[in-house]
Amino acid sequence: MSKNNNRRNFFKKAITAGAALAPLATFGDGMKQAAERIPMYSKPADLQITEVQCAYIRFGHGLFIRIKTNQDIYGVGEGADSVPGTYHFVKLLENRLKGKNPLNVHRLFDDLRKSGIFEGAQAGMYIGVLSAIEAALWDVAGKALNVPVYQLLGGKFRDKIRVYCDTALYQQNLPTPADFAKAATQAKTMGFNAIKFDLDQRNDPAKYDLYNWTASPGELQRMVDQVTAAREAVGPNIDICCDMHGRYDAVTGQQIAKRLEPLNLMWLEEPIPAENVEAYKIISDSTTTPICAGENHYLAYGFRRMLEIGAVDIIMPDLQKAGGLGEGQRIANLASLYYVPFAPHMVASFLGAMASCHVCASVPNFMILEWQSYFHTDPMFKEIIKYDGKWVENGFIPLSEKPGIGVDINEEGMKKYATPGYPFFK
């Protein structure tokens, strides 16, 4: 039975039942208006997945998933970074999802992960794709039940999500201290109360060579001068964090963390690669500068050891590649047992940003979410999605109250930026 027929029968029954009451016309109109506000789909038990489509942007590093169902409800999700070349893998997982009820999000996540134990389902591309699919399942569930995703995650602790502005100065060759000061001032003027800078510079003339991970005295001084200029530009009440992208050794991590202590950083991010959490603990124990890591860890399992030994002060899982929204909440809850703040990494589109916001709203130990400065400068990010609310206001993202994630894909806009040679929503 169609949605319109369902509504028609509902109106007929309501009006017949109230025929003896006056005024009849007012009663019927009121019931009709109320019913029009309620989505009349089949009962949730009848919902089934019929198709999983995907498209890619940013040279394959941005994956968009659309899950279709037998009731014309669809959900969208996004994966980032660890997803290039995964189209055929998406279609493999599609075969494992067809005919299943998308409302069983945790069950489907568990089924897909456990079915891939010998296919790489511990980390990497497998979990990156699974993250996008899982987010799309939550979007379907929210739309089918007419509630925002945060409600499905147990409700919200906050109505708006604090973000820090990543200034993306790494895209500029050898930024000077003056460049840092200018970017910091600009972010503060835009209403942000937290800012991030990148300290690693592959082309720094003071480097010993491209493969030596030990920073030279000249590199260390350049980093200190840059961050000092930013701090002096915005004053003591703006949070500043710095990212080193895992491109140095433990000796350098200890040295720069110690030298930046007077500048009161919110955190120093990934001074060394992700794999050796014991080395992170050496750095964390040597400084009062908070150490942050986690964007290159997968699933809650990937955070267990670092939390157990106190390797870092703040964790930053990327919810578009660490396992999705439900797994992101599990990671946050695990961190909460150790009184460790949860500050997700986020390099996706506004769809991924809002999906992350639902998780950030649902946990008590949320600290701050990443926001990219290119959202304000690159028209692509406006063109590829549909959203009629405010993106960011005075350093906060207002949480969407729409059913599901609350952000949709603009397929026509995305076509302009689709990765050549990749299937587009097939």
Q: What is the topology classification, in CATH, of domain 152-405?
A: TIM Barrel (3.20.20)
| pLDDT band at residue 5 using 50, 70 and 90 as cut-offs | very low
| 42 band by pLDDT with thresholds 50, 70 and 90 | low
Residue position matching structure tokens 């800078």:
197
Q: Which of 368, 354, 365 is nearest to 401 (CA)?
A: 354
pLDDT at res. 165: 98
What is the distance between the alpha carbons of residues 329 and 356, in angstroms, rounded to a whole number?
10
Mean pLDDT, range 381-387, rounded to an integer: 97
Q: Give pLDDT, residue 174.
A: 87
Q: Is the pLDDT of residue 271 over 80?
A: yes
Average pLDDT over residues 107-116: 97
Do 404 and 139 form a contact (C-beta atoms < 8 A)?
A: yes
Stretch 172-190: mean pLDDT, rounded?
93
Judge whether residue 114 has pLDDT over 90.
Answer: yes
Residue 210 is predicted with a pLDDT of 87
* DSSP labels, 24-93: HHHHHHHHHHHHHTS-----GGG--EEEEEEEEEGGGTEEEEEEEETTS-EEEEEEESS-TT-HHHHHHH
Confidence of residue 223 (pLDDT cuts 50, 70, 90): very high
User: How sure is the predictor about 7, in pLDDT bands with cuts at 50, 70 and 90?
Assistant: very low
157 contacts 363 by C-beta, under 8 angstroms: yes
Q: What is the mean pLDDT of the chain?
A: 91
pLDDT band at 232 (very low <50, low <70, confident <90, very high): very high
Per residue in 140-150, pLDDT (tens digit) is 999 999 999 99
Closest by CA position to 229, among listed 199, 205, 254, 208: 199
Average pLDDT for residues 9-26, to the nearest whole number? 39
Distance (Å, whole) CA 133 – CA 105: 10
- pLDDT given for residue 355 in this prediction: 98
At 3, the pLDDT band (50, 70, 90 cuts) reads very low
User: Residue 218: which of 232, 233, 201 has the closest Cα?
Assistant: 201
Residue 344's nearest CA partner among 161, 92, 123 is: 161
**Is residue 152 over pLDDT 60?**
yes
Mean predicted confidence (pLDDT) in 203-231: 95
Distance, CA of 104 to CA of 67 (rounded, Å): 14
Give pLDDT tens digits for 307-354.
999 999 999 999 999 999 999 999 999 999 999 999 999 999 999 999
Assess whether pLDDT exceeds 60 at residue 6: no
* CATH code matching the domain that covers 46-146, chosen among 3.30.390.10, 3.40.50.620, 3.40.50.150, 2.60.40.10: 3.30.390.10
C-alpha distance from residue 5 to each of 8, 31, 146 (Å): 5, 16, 20
Question: What is the distance between the alpha carbons of residues 293 and 306, in angstroms, rounded to a whole number?
Answer: 9
Kindly list the domain boundaries of the chain, sorted by start residue: 46-146, 152-405
Mean pLDDT of all residues in 378-389:
97
**pTM as predicted:** 0.89
Model pLDDT for residues 30-40, shown as the tens digit of each residue: 434 444 444 54
